[in-house]
Amino acid sequence: MTRGHKSHIGAGFVIEMTTGFVMDFELLSNFCKSCSTKKKQLNDEEKFEEWRKNVHVGMCQANFHGLSGRMEAECAIRMWGRSENLGFQYTTFLSDGDSSAFTAVTAMNNGAGPYNVQVEKEECVNHVKKRMGTRLRKLKEELKEEKVTKTGKVIRRSVVGGKHQLTDSQINALQQYYGKAIKDSIGTDYITMKKNIMSGFLHAISRDGDGNHHHLQCNPSWCVFKKALDNNEPMPSHNIMKNYLRLEKKYEDRVKAIYHDLSTPALLARCMKGHTQNRNEGLHSKLWLHQNKAKFAGLNRVRFMSQLTILNHNLGYESTHFIAHIGFPSTAERIKTMEKDGQKAENLHASNRRRGPQEGKSLHLQITSQAALTFDVKA
């Protein structure tokens, strides 16, 4: 079992945004081992179809006949479609970027939405933060030119990749400034959030002799220049800054344009509540912990592991643990023994991964925990 976009099994989860509880889940599989084996044995399409309709009916594990990339959207459609039967309406969708699942949900009922109301979209602020780094690295790549070295070798080098320009460390710093500005502005308004975002850019491009206007919007908690202004102290030299930009004006304007693109009213409005997908990622890690990536897993096994994961996620490991219910509560010694056994198993799995799969030994069925769908729930 491996992660990837060519997986045969996809899992989708509905996570309530306030409590973090899993409300519903859906599993899709476009592969059935029995069908695959029988089709090879019969080597006849008509006989196989007759067997599938008359003998295999109700037992086939393939409940989705489409590409793996379509599974995330299909999971969302199925779960949203039955939500009112469970007594809920999922009114807010938390995802990163252009989610195919969100697009599919909003297209339900001929574009009217699942409940004839428009579902609101929230952005994961951690993923939004990464867009800044992505855009700056793309700009750096676009601004490459051919240069001839002293030895006559022709190389391509970015004109903005030098010291105090768009180096990896500088890009990471600007990305962090951008993300911090968003998180520090949660619960305020668009103007405040935009001002805080741009303050990071102005702080980075400031120079000695520019005056104080670049630091007026900074926060004294992280800007020594704003702190000096507030305390009527002499302004320190900008040479003390670890990360700062020294770009030509035309390139500086390109960076500034990226900041404006990533601080539009529409985007920042979806970041105002400060939601993240940490709960989704935590749930995924628990599912992967139960399911060995290098061993065949059918739909029924993945369903059982998903149910077990949801129980542990919602109620906690102890309250859902069978051993505790039959009179063997957790003790320090038992926990220590279990951790030791778990480490042995992990070491064995790591050893198997290093050796690689033995050719022809088993079918390595892929599974992906598609992006868990996180919603506000209206009862």
Q: What share of the chain is helix, strand, coil (3-state, %, to 5)?
A: 50, 10, 40
349, β-bridge pairs: none
pLDDT surpassing 70 at residue 378 = no
Pairing label, strands 120-123, 89-95:
parallel
Environment class of 355 (CB within 10 Å of its CB; exposed 0-12, middle 13-18, buried 19+): exposed
Which tops the pLDDT comparison, 78 or 355? 78
DSSP annotation of 160 reads: T
The predicted structure's pLDDT at residue 166: 93
The predicted structure's pLDDT at residue 237: 77
Percentage of residues in the chain having pLDDT higher than 70: 83
Whole-number Å distance between alpha carbons of 164 and 161: 8
Name the residue ranges covered by the structural domains of the chain.
9-30+65-124+276-326+364-378, 129-269
Degrees (nearest 5) of the Cα angle 88, 285, 291?
Answer: 100
pLDDT digits (tens, 9 = 90+) for 106-149: 999 988 889 988 899 999 999 999 999 999 999 999 998 888 88
DSSP 71-130: HHHHHHHHHHHTTGGGT-EEEEEEESSS-HHHHHHHTHHHHT-TTSSPPEEEE-HHHHHH
Report residue 240's pLDDT band, with 50, 70 and 90 as the boundaries: confident
Lowest mean pLDDT across 104-113, 241-250, 324-333: 324-333
Mean pLDDT of 178-204: 93
Which tops the pLDDT comparison, 124 or 296? 124
Residue 57's contacts (CB-CB under 8 Å, 6 or more residues apart) are: none
Whole-number Å distance between alpha carbons of 50 and 39: 11
pLDDT surpassing 80 at residue 281 = yes
The predicted structure's pLDDT at residue 324: 64
Mean pLDDT of 142-158: 85
Which tops the pLDDT comparison, 18 or 265? 265
Mean pLDDT of 44-64: 90
Report residue 323's pLDDT band, with 50, 70 and 90 as the boundaries: low
Mean pLDDT of 276-296: 83
Q: How far is CA 235 from the centre of its chain?
A: 42
Tell me the pLDDT of the chain averaged across its residues: 83
Lowest mean pLDDT across 178-182, 238-242, 354-358: 354-358
Whole-number Å distance between alpha carbons of 206 and 246: 9
Give the number of other CB atoms < 10 A from CB of residue 106.
16
Which tops the pLDDT comparison, 144 or 351? 144
Q: Which two tokens stand for residue 349?
A: 């799995």
Report residue 319's pLDDT band, with 50, 70 and 90 as the boundaries: low
pTM: 0.74
Percentage of residues in the chain having pLDDT higher than 90: 42
- Counting every residue, how long is the chain? 379
